Structure 1
């Protein structure tokens, strides 16, 4: 399999952004995604760790946001993150958050976050219980989707529920899904280290089932920085349509600052792999320079995945469910959808399903 390596071009793009646009690095999550926040007069800690989680995972990936009274990130020198008293190594540290992956032991894992800064100490403890399982066992499921809404292609892989396999990295899950859906892929790094999805490639299935067309709202935001004819019909990946394009992914509406190979998913996670034309600014993952309202599409994506995976033929024979389902897809594919539109679509879909279920007409 050929890999398209563009290291020099990547460096040139980064330099171009920093020197020309002067984008300020900032938050890349929306709608209060971190599950818990503790604070005092000086320090605030946010994290997406789920307290009292019971899991069969070998490793847990999580993010920590620590900020001072002026909402500035506190340096990692003032922060200690441990599991059962042992330091947890840092995956990645940037101007917004710090990412960690810890090995889990059978039984009780006490993850402690302690900040000692400006004569103030604050800490929070989380308990994770690990149960035994064999490598290769199904230990839950995740929601997966892959889309190219930014160029009008809709879903490459519609929302589905996928088995979560013990010991599997997010990169391995991604490859498994791409191959099962009839796509090839180009990448840099390896499946187990520094994996970067450079492009997907047509194989059993085509990528461009319709002509690509960038939505008008996005064209306006891009200010002419695109070329709708600059693509290969057998590929979709970095530097297609402009120099700022490529594949990004979010987990539970947070854009990780680590690659797929360094992320370990847990039961119930929602992972959305999305094509961007603006280094994430068009999909809610920009460096403090997002084009549209920051929204959370995870709940609606999950509802569609539930239907697609288990009930599609059964439910879509009913006109009201089909109408609500199709409207939900339209809203999900809208690059500048508002949270109100998303929430309303979810409510309409849930109501349509509930009416039919309560009527006793479902088989």
Structure 2
């Protein structure tokens, strides 16, 4: 009775059947960071002018905030998500890749002069196309900044 155990006997672990799931570590949620600032408008004293006292004196409309995103989301999708969640006013025109941000926190283009308006950067770079065209990637850092001088006051080069 020197028989060796045969493969498939009770000493081997059963394999899961097709309808069983094997638990694996949950994938981490994909996030980006977003911030909104109007420091240039504050530096130019816009908050001292009538009708602009609602602007934060430090220029920070939204501190850096981590936001989960879905595959295919754009910078615009992230902005909509965060402004709705935080109750921050945001107005835009157009759609898709032609979406243009007119105002955030009741601060609009041209409020700070003829060369003023909202610009966005991703990872420190100011893209040359609209917020609805830029698809975000995990760990991107998005910043919306108000400019009073076509981006020169932000260190952004505009073509």
Normalised by the length of structure 2, the TM-score is 0.68
Residue 123 of structure 2 is aligned to residue 252 of structure 1: yes
The correspondence for 1:240, drawn from 91, 99, 111, is: 111
Match of 1:157 in 2: 62
> Which of residues 77, 87, 91 in structure 2 aligns to 1:172?
77
Report the CA distance between 1:279 and its aligned residue.
0.6
CA offset at residue 139 of structure 1? 4.6
Change (3 A) 1:287 1:260: closer
Contact 2:30 2:70 in 1 (8 A): yes
Partners of 1:166 and 1:239 lie apart in 2 by 34
- Structure 1 residue 138, shift from structure 2 partner: 7.7
Identify unmatched segments of 5+ residues in structure 1. 1-136, 202-234, 289-363
Q: Does 1:200 align with 2:104?
A: yes
Q: 1:243 to 1:138 in 2, by over 3 A?
A: farther
- Cα distance between partner residues in 1 of 2:73 and 2:63: 22
Measure, in 2, the Cα distance between the counterparts of 1:167 and 1:138: 17
Q: Larger RCO: Structure 1 or Structure 2 (Cα < 8 Å, ≥ 6 residues apart)?
A: 2
Q: How does 1:90-105 map to 2 (within 5 A)?
A: none
Q: Superposition pairs for residues 54-65 of structure 1, below 5 Å? A: none
Stretches (4+) displaced over 4 A? none
SS of 1:171's equivalent?
helix
Q: How much does 1:241 deviate?
A: 2.2
CA distance in 1, matches of 2:130, 2:148: 19
Counterpart contact for 1:138–1:165, Cα < 8 Å: no
* Contact kept? 1:139, 1:165, Cα under 8 Å: no
Contact 1:247 1:273 in 2 (8 A): yes
Contact 2:75–2:142 under 8 Å retained in 1: no
Aligned to 2:92: 187
Distance verdict in 2 for CA 1:236–1:138, change over 3 Å: farther
Q: Which secondary structure does the structure 2 equivalent of 1:142 belong to?
A: strand
Larger Rg: 2
Does structure 2 conserve the Cα–Cα contact (< 8 Å) formed by 1:252 and 1:270?
A: yes
- What is the CA–CA distance in structure 2 between the aligned matches of 1:185 and 1:155, rounded to whole Å? 15
SS at match of 2:103: strand
Q: Which runs of 5+ in 2 are unaligned?
A: 1-26, 43-55
Q: Determine helix, strand or coil for the equivalent of 1:243.
A: coil
* Helix, strand or coil at the partner of 1:271: strand
Task: Tell me the residue number matched to 2:34.
Answer: 144
Displacement of 1:193: 3.2
How many residue pairs align between the two structures?
Answer: 118
- Report the Cα offset of residue 287 of structure 1: 3.5
Task: Give the drift of 1:286.
Answer: 3.0
Taking only aligned residues, the RMSD between alpha carbons, in angstroms, comes to 1.9
Superposed, which structure 2 residues align to 1:1-363 within 5 Å?
139-152=29-42, 153=56, 154-190=59-95, 192-201=96-105, 235-287=106-158
Q: Which has the higher strand share?
A: 1
Query: How far, CA to CA, are the matches of 2:97 and 2:128 in structure 1?
Result: 14
